[in-house]
Amino acid sequence: MAPPKAHRKVGRLLLALISVGVSLGTVCCVSHDPPGVRSVAQRQLRCAPDDVYAVINRTTPRVQEWIVGCEFYYTRVLCSANGCQVPTPKPPCFGDQECFEEDPMTLEWTLPRTASR
């Protein structure tokens, strides 16, 4: 026998409240962005400071990659001990030459070692 409609509504409401609570808990636990992240990104995005939202995307022993956005636009920002900067975009591959690869420590684009010799 199916549960009464009132019980189903309470169950759905309880599920919705739990989902909101978990979402808010996750957002509240996110680490705070370094001061340079927003200022570097704002030069690229040209948004009001209150509209900028930053989340950490990747972390390596040398850098943190932040995704910063507002009003349907976003940019990547790399922060290290030397400060924060907007990374260079991925260079294109040309013909039969080696393509650039992302360095897993610095998250910068470099030529493979075999191609640079």
Q: State phi, psi for 58 to the nearest 5 degrees.
A: -140, 155
- Print the domain residue range for 5: 1-30
Answer yes or no: do 55 and 13 share one domain: no
Answer yes or no: do 43 and 89 share one domain: yes
Quote the pTM value. 0.66
pLDDT tens sequence across 55-73: 999 999 999 999 999 989 9
pLDDT tens sequence across 92-109: 988 888 899 999 999 999
Q: Where are the alpha helices (H) located in 1-117, listed in sequence order?
A: 5-29, 35-45, 113-116
Alpha carbons 107 and 58: distance in angstroms, whole number = 9
Answer yes or no: do 90 and 108 share one domain: yes
Query: Apex CA 112: angle with CA 107 and CA 59, to 5°?
Result: 15
pLDDT class of 18 with cuts at 50, 70, 90: low
Q: How many domains does the chain have?
A: 2
CA–chain centroid gap for 113, Å, is: 29
